[in-house]
Amino acid sequence: MAHSTDAERMEKIVSLCKRRGFIFQAGEIYGGLNGVWDYGPLGVELKRNLKDYWWRRTVQQRDDIVGIDGSILTHQAILVASGHVGGFSDPMSDCLLTRARLRADQIEPQSGPVHSYTGARHEASGWSTSRSFSVLRRQGEDENKARKTARQFYHQFRGSHDIGEKEIELLGESVEEVTDSTRFNPANGALLTEPREFNLMFQTKVGASADENDPNAVAYLRPETAQSIFTQYRNVSDSTRVKLPFGIAQVGKAFRNEINPRNFTFRSREFEQMEVEYFCRPEDGLRLTDEWLEQRLKFYEEIGIPRDQLHVLDVPEKDRAHYSKKTYDIEYAFPFGIQELEGVAYRTDYDLSKHQQHSGRPMDYFDDQTKERFIPHVVEPSAGVDRTVLALICQAYDEEQVDDGKGGSETRIVMRFAPRMAPVKVGVFPLLKNKPALVGKAREVRDLLQPFMTVFYDEAGAIGRRYRRQDEAGTPFGVTIDFDTLGENDPALKGTVTLRERDSMSQQRVPIDELLPRLLEAIR
RNA sequence: GCGGGUGUAGCUCAGUGGUAGAGCACUUCCUUGCCAAGGAAGAUGUCGCGCGUUCGAAUCGCGUCACCCGCUCCA
pLDDT tens-digit map of A42-62? 999 999 999 999 999 999 999
Q: Give A81-144 as a DSSP string.
A: HHTHHHHSEEEEEEBTTT--EEEGGGPPPEEEEEEEESEEEETTTTEEE---EEEEPPTT--HH
Q: What is the mean pLDDT of residues A257-271?
A: 86
How many Å apart are A470 CA and B49 C1'? 36
Q: Which of residues 286-345 of A touch strand B (CB under 7 A)?
A: 321, 336-337
Beta bridge partners of A110: A181
A414 to each of A389, A423, A466, A523, how far by Cα in Å? Answer: 16, 13, 13, 18
Q: What is the mean pLDDT of residues A372-385?
A: 94
Q: CA-CA distance, A130 to A132, in Å (whole number)?
A: 6
Q: Which of residues 155-194 of A touch strand B (CB under 7 A)?
A: none
Question: Per-residue b/e over A71-80, b at no fewer than 16 CB within 10 Å?
Answer: eeebbbebbe
Specify the pLDDT at position A196. 64
Q: Which residue has the higher pLDDT, A179 or A354?
A: A354
A328 to each of A193, A273, A336, how far by Cα in Å? Answer: 36, 17, 21
Specify the pLDDT at position A120. 78
Specify the pLDDT at position A406. 57
Provide the positions of strand B that have an atom within 7 A of a protein CB: 1-3, 7, 10-12, 25-38, 46, 48-49, 65-75
By C-alpha distance, which of A216, A183, A185, A220 is closest to A88?
A: A220
Residue A152: CB atoms within 10 A of its CB come to 17
Q: Which of residues 26-55 of A touch strand B (CB under 7 A)?
A: 29-35
Farthest CA pair distance, chain A: 103
Specify the pLDDT at position A54. 97
How many Å apart are A159 CA and B49 C1'? 25
Chain segment A455-481, per-residue pLDDT in tens: 998 888 788 888 888 898 999 999 999
How many Å apart are A32 CA and B50 C1'? 16
Residue lying closest to nucleotide B69, CA to C1': A7
Q: Which of residues 83-122 of A touch strand B (CB under 7 A)?
A: 87-88, 90, 94, 98-103, 106
Residue lying closest to nucleotide B2, CA to C1': A100
For residue A246, pLDDT beyond 90: yes
How many Å apart are A383 CA and B45 C1'? 42
For residue A119, pLDDT beyond 80: no
Q: Which helix (H) or strand (E) holds A234?
A: helix A233-240
Q: CA-CA distance, A3 to A16, in Å (whole number)?
A: 17
Specify the pLDDT at position A2. 34
Q: Is the CB of A200 under 7 A from strand B?
A: yes
- Cβ-contact A33, A20 below 8 angstroms: no
Chain segment A293-335, per-residue pLDDT in tens: 999 999 999 999 999 999 999 988 878 888 889 999 999 988 8
Task: Report the nucleotide nearest the CA of residue A413, measured to C1'.
Answer: B36
Packing angle of the helix pair A436-449, A512-523 (nearest 10 deg)? 40
Residue lying closest to nucleotide B33, CA to C1': A431
Task: Report the nucleotide nearest the CA of residue A102, measured to C1'.
Answer: B72
Q: Which helix (H) or strand (E) holds A179?
A: strand A174-181
Residue lying closest to nucleotide B12, CA to C1': A15
Confidence bin at A450 (pLDDT 50/70/90):
very high
Specify the pLDDT at position A209. 63
How many Å apart are A360 CA and B63 C1'? 54
Q: How do A477-481 and A426-430 pair as beta strands? A: parallel
Specify the pLDDT at position A483. 87
Phi, psi for residue A238 in degrees, rounded to 5:
-70, -35
Residue lying closest to nucleotide B10, CA to C1': A19
- Cβ-contact A149, A198 below 8 angstroms: no
Residue lying closest to nucleotide B30, CA to C1': A434
Least confidently predicted of A103-107, A235-239, A250-254, A513-517? A103-107
Specify the pLDDT at position A158. 64
Q: Is the CB of A262 under 7 A from strand B?
A: yes
For residue A341, pLDDT beyond 90: yes
Chain segment A179-209, per-residue pLDDT in tens: 888 888 887 788 887 766 667 888 888 876 6
Q: Which residue has the higher pLDDT, A452 or A493?
A: A452
How many Å apart are A423 CA and B19 C1'? 46
How many Å apart are A101 CA and B3 C1'? 13
Confidence bin at A391 (pLDDT 50/70/90):
very high
For residue A76, pLDDT beyond 70: yes
Q: What is the mean pLDDT of residues A163-176?
A: 79
Confidence bin at A159 (pLDDT 50/70/90):
low
Q: CA-CA distance, A311 to A328, in Å (whole number)?
A: 10
Specify the pLDDT at position A64. 94
Phi, psi for residue A357 in degrees, rounded to 5:
-65, -45
For residue A3, pLDDT beyond 60: no
Confidence bin at A141 (pLDDT 50/70/90):
confident
Q: Is the CB of A463 under 7 A from strand B?
A: yes
How many Å apart are A260 CA and B51 C1'? 28
Average model confidence (pLDDT) across chain A: 86
Specify the pLDDT at position A145. 83
How many Å apart are A428 CA and B41 C1'? 28
Q: Which of residues 342-401 of A touch strand B (CB under 7 A)?
A: none
Chain segment A477-510, per-residue pLDDT in tens: 999 998 888 888 788 888 899 999 999 888 899 9
For residue A144, pLDDT beyond 90: no
Residue lying closest to nucleotide B74, CA to C1': A258
Q: CA-CA distance, A102 to A166, in Å (whole number)?
A: 28
Task: Report the nucleotide nearest the CA of residue A402, measured to C1'.
Answer: B35
pTM (2 d.p.) = 0.84
Confidence bin at A162 (pLDDT 50/70/90):
low
How many Å apart are A336 CA and B67 C1'? 15
For residue A5, pLDDT beyond 60: no
